[in-house]
Amino acid sequence: MIRSRICEMLGIKYPVFQGGMAWVADASLAAAVSNAGGLGLVSSINAGTEAVRNEIRKCRELTDKPFGVNIMLQAPNAGEIAQMVVEEGVKILTTGAGSPSQYMAMWKEAGIKVIPVVASVALALKMQAAGADAVVAEGAESGGHVGELHTMPLIPQVVDALDIPVVAAGGICDGRGVAAAFMLGADAVQVGTRFLSAEECTVHQEYKDKILKATDISTIVTGKSLGHPVRSLKTPFSKNFARMESDPSVNKEDILALGTGALRKAVKEGDRNGTYMAGECAGMVKKIEPAKDIVEDLILGAEKIITGFSARM
């Protein structure tokens, strides 16, 4: 069975993290992934700090297995969330979209395993020096907020630079991706897009339908001109967003206003003016199934490839 030092560190059966997807990763999904032997993550992006506290408490009722919280550092309430997770006795944290340096001492003091998401070797090194227990190195194939490097060159460069475990993310969707991540030197994988199709994922049906219909060329990165590049499904809305961005006569405030609240609208309402964040592997997601089947498919699929591998002639 595929196991790594991350499994011992976190007390999980399989080295599979579920991405802490904003608005999406609630107690229902996180508990299902943890119950399946992976690491479920509850997102800090929800209807405010108290709503996140509630999801953490709900998750604890739904699973007795380890789970974590993902903190989106660019959120206005990130500082409040950083405190709240300590109060709630959360044991595992991942962070995204920035550097969590200012919170590290508080979290380490509380005995929390801290696993920042990084998109470059420089930040990975900084996080290791600051006391991170592992990092998630996320390539730009992923959905949502993206960095510049892609998974294939990012993972080995981060692995070579660090001593702590590296979790590979970005474009990993089935056993082939998991096997590849291990070949690149990763100790675990983080998977987001595939879990959008989990039965326990509570996103609007329209979101799931759009993922199931996606092909290889269904995503687009917008927001680069605003300093927030985000990968999402191509829709009339996201294509219009891209057009406005490249039009010098449109001012930045108007573009920003268009994007505000758009992820929530997609997740909760299936709104056509929503942002349907998804990774490049959305085209590989073909059915709705229990989170347990997804976790097992990822692991068993990888094992089959690794044990039976010989080069195709």
User: What residues make contact with ligand TUI under the rule CB under 6 A?
Assistant: 22, 45, 72, 96-99, 117-119, 123, 138, 144-147, 228, 230, 263, 277
**Least distance to ligand TUI, CB of residue 276, Å:** 12
Dihedral through CA 117, CA 120, CA 122, CA 128, nearest 10? Answer: 30
Which residue minimizes CB distance to ligand TUI? 144
Q: Which is nearer to ligand TUI, 7 or 118 (CB)?
A: 118
Q: Which is nearer to ligand TUI, 221 or 284 (CB)?
A: 221
Cα–Cα distance between 181 and 187 in angstroms, integer? Answer: 8
**Least distance to ligand TUI, CB of residue 1, Å:** 28
DSSP string, 20-88: --TTT--HHHHHHHHHTTSBEEEES-SSSHHHHHHHHHHHHHH-SS-EEEEEETTSTTHHHHHHHHHHT
Q: Which is nearer to ligand TUI, 35 or 94 (CB)?
A: 94
**Least distance to ligand TUI, CB of residue 158, Å:** 12
DSSP string, 259-307: HTTHHHIIIII--TTS--B--GGGGG----B-HHHHHHHHHHHHHHHHH
Q: Which is nearer to ligand TUI, 175 or 280 (CB)?
A: 280
Q: For residue 163, what are its two tokens? A: 């001593």
Q: Which is nearer to ligand TUI, 98 or 185 (CB)?
A: 98
**Least distance to ligand TUI, CB of residue 116, Å:** 8
- Please state, as a whole number, how many other Cβ atoms lie within 10 Å of the Cβ of residue 227: 7
**Least distance to ligand TUI, CB of residue 300, Å:** 27
